[in-house]
Structure 1
Amino acid sequence: MRPLIGITTYRETAQWGTWHVPAVLLPASYADAVAEAGGEPVLLPTGAVSAAVVDRLDGLVVAGGADVDPARYGQSAGPHTTVVRPERDESELTALRAALDRDLPVLAICRGMQLLNVALGGDLVQHLPDVENTGTHDPGPGRYQQRQVRTQPGTRLHQLLGATAPVACHHHQAVARIAPELTPSAWAEDGVVEAVEAADRRFCLGVQWHPEEGLDHRLFAAHVAAAR
């Protein structure tokens, strides 16, 4: 049996054919990466996710997307935090907490890593360009910034990717205060934390980049293997 891997989704107005309506959607690269790794991708519709649904899964992928509402970590929105999706925050926090309660394998990507940190008690930098000596992590709409990350020896990420790895970034926020349960496991050249993990869990890894893009799907393969 292929393990069932839930993937969180966007809820946005979308257009196809003659339709222009609110839609639950996800870039196909996420589902393709899970399927290629041997998992059975199951899309979790924003607004209709419950702990009972997560009970039926073997693993959870928390996808990228809009900024996490700063109210979730006790801050007011800054001038660059303009696109938030509170309904999605609620759905994904429900899924994340249920997965963590069951110690399901979790792979949290970009926004997903930020939400994982918030769910466990951390907070975020709302706009990286405001941080001195920080390079480009978001090159603009529909584009990815190619960066090189350095991994921490002894971590799961180091075991999976080696000492360094090229990655595709698209984020203007990042983790600030890291949640007590999480450990940083990769950094960009400018010192921005690009990955976190929970060493005491079966598989709990957050990456700030987009491993679903490109051909290197080792993180998905490790996540699905942990879910078997």
Structure 2
Amino acid sequence: MDRPLIGVSTYLEPARWGVWEQRAALLPAGYHRLVQRAGGLAALLPPDEDPAAARATVARLNGLVIAGGPDVAPERYGARRDPRCGPPAPERDAWELALIGAALDLRVPLLGICRGMQLLNVALGGTLRQHLDDHAGLPGTFGAHEVRPVPGTRLAAALPGPVRVPTYHHQAVDVLGRGLVVSAVAADGTVEAVELPAADGFVLGVQWHPEAGEDTSVMRALTTAAAD
């Protein structure tokens, strides 16, 4: 069986290598390595100046991952900015929302990771809690806590049961987007995963960072759907 082609969103940041210091399309290596370990071929998707290019991009993929990163601008879901909300990333918001919209429209299997899950929720009309405590490690390091899959969901079928996962976030889903169901929660009730019913194709978002751990279950669920 051919390995499915999985696109992963990237972002522009100042970077330095050798004698150069320029803006570069970046993505932590854990993402493409996780795709590869889960049986997929990884394609990195740099932002396009024309968000309309998202549809043509997604049409060439077997699956799509929206990577973690900065806070989603609260203006995207009609909220006033909390002082603890991070700085906006308008270009990235626009590009990744366009990718999500294309994947939903074309029924390309979709996995949102951390920010990617939050952006999926916003794309479907949901809102976010702009700050919560105790769901991240020290700055630049991942924390860990247990998440509990909701029985009967796609995620519950992919995981062996409650699992301890790498985490780094201070925002979370508040009001669910259209059609989404909660498929995992933390001990304090924080939404840790959302998904669309199977009839709507493979659409899953997880709040944690599987690319920072060893377990391939979530990504393998995506690559299996993409191969089908």
Deviation at 1:207, TM superposition (A): 0.3
**Rounded Cα–Cα distance in structure 1 between residues aligned with 2:71 and 2:138:** 15
- TM-score (norm. length: structure 2): 0.94
- 1:50 shift after superposition: 2.1
| The one of 39, 62, 66 aligned to 1:62 | 66
Q: In 2, Cα distance between the equivalents of 1:196 and 1:50?
A: 23
Q: Tell me how many residue pairs correspond in the alignment.
A: 222
Q: Distance in 1 between matches of 2:158 and 2:88?
A: 32
Distance 1:50 1:153 in 2: 34
- Matched residue, 1:14: 15
Tell me how far apart the structure 2 counterparts of residues 171 and 184 of structure 1 sit (CA, whole Å).
18
1:160 alignment partner AA: A
1:66 deviates by 0.5
Kindly state the Cα deviation for residue 15 of structure 1 after the two structures are TM-superposed.
Answer: 1.2
Paired-residue identity, % = 51
Quick check: 191-200 or 114-123, which moved more? 191-200
| CA displacement at 1:75 relative to structure 2 | 1.3
- Paired residue for 1:88? 92
TM-score (norm: length of structure 1): 0.94
Residues 34 and 40 in structure 1, CA contact (< 8 A), matched pair in contact too: yes
Q: Relative to structure 2, which stretch is displaced further, 38-47 or 88-97?
A: 38-47
The match for 2:29 is: 28
Deviation at 1:18, TM superposition (A): 1.4
Q: Which residue of 1 aligns with 2:131?
A: 127
Secondary structure at the aligned position of 1:194 is classed as: strand
User: Does structure 1 residue 150 correspond to structure 2 residue 148?
Assistant: yes
Question: Comparing 104-113 with 162-171, which one deviates more in the overlay?
Answer: 162-171
Query: In 2, Cα distance between the equivalents of 1:163 and 1:153?
Result: 9
User: Residues 214 and 82 from structure 1, CA distance in 2 versus in 1: closer, same or farther, beyond 3 angstroms?
Assistant: closer
Q: Secondary structure of 1:33's partner?
A: helix
Task: Could you list the structure 1 runs, at least 4 aligned residues long, displaced by more than 3 angstroms after superposition.
Answer: none
Q: CA RMSD in A?
A: 1.1
Letter in 1 for 2:121: N
Task: Check conservation: 1:47, 1:88, Cα contact below 8 A.
Answer: no
Extract unaligned runs of 5+ from structure 1.
Answer: 130-135
Q: Shift of the alpha carbon at 1:82?
A: 2.7
Q: CA deviation at 1:162?
A: 2.8
* Distance in 1, Cα, partners of 2:136 & 2:38: 28
Cα deviation code 1:30-49 (max 9, x no counterpart): 00111111111111102355
Structure-1 residue corresponding to 2:224: 225
Quote the residue 2:212 is aligned against. 213
How far is the alpha carbon of 1:191 from its aligned partner?
Answer: 0.9
Which residue in 1 is equivalent to 2:76?
Answer: 72
Q: Determine helix, strand or coil for the equivalent of 2:83.
A: coil
